[in-house]
Amino acid sequence: MKTLTITSDHKTQIIDISSEVKEAIITSGVKEGICLIFTPHTTASILLFENVDPKLQRDLLGSLSMIAPHEDRYTHAGGNASAHIKSARTGASITIPVINGQPFLGEWQGIFFAEFDGPREEREILVQVIAS
């Protein structure tokens, strides 16, 4: 298993981790199987998302903010209830196929870490490649 550590710079942010995941798959030596990408944080997510137009990332963050606005009154005392709700809606992990030692993604797909409670100096992402 490979652990990636990243830094987020904003309260909410989407960070492309496709190249880091690809490198983890290549160095694993697995030619055919699956790759699980997981974050152990309850205020962040792992997403498959469109990787060409960065405006879509802003649209996604804006849409999630309409579902769980930061300004809303929540009973959670931590001040970050909206981040927990956004993470629960989008998920902590994804699984992708590994074919010929490469991640199998659609033409427009990328792998992203979504930060909902930043900025943070250290966020973990676990990448497990499993042979079939």
User: Rounded distance, CA 75 to CA 78, Å?
Assistant: 9
Q: Of 4, 35, 30, 2, which is closest to residue 105 (Cα–Cα)?
A: 35
Strand pairing of 13-16 and 109-115? antiparallel
Predicted model pTM = 0.95
Q: For position 97, which CATH number holds?
A: 2.60.120.460
Encoded tokens for 49: 């998302």
Who has greater pLDDT, 5 or 72? 5
pLDDT 10s digits, 12-61? 999 999 999 999 999 999 999 999 999 999 999 999 999 999 999 999 99
In the chain, the number of structural domains is 1
Q: What local confidence, expressed as pLDDT, does residue 73 receive?
A: 86
- pLDDT of residue 72 exceeding 80: no
Is the backbone of residue 83 left (phi > 0), alpha (psi -120 to 50) or beta?
Answer: alpha
Range of the domain at 106: 2-131
Spatial CA neighbour of 3 closest among 34, 29, 36: 36
Confidence of residue 77 (pLDDT cuts 50, 70, 90): confident
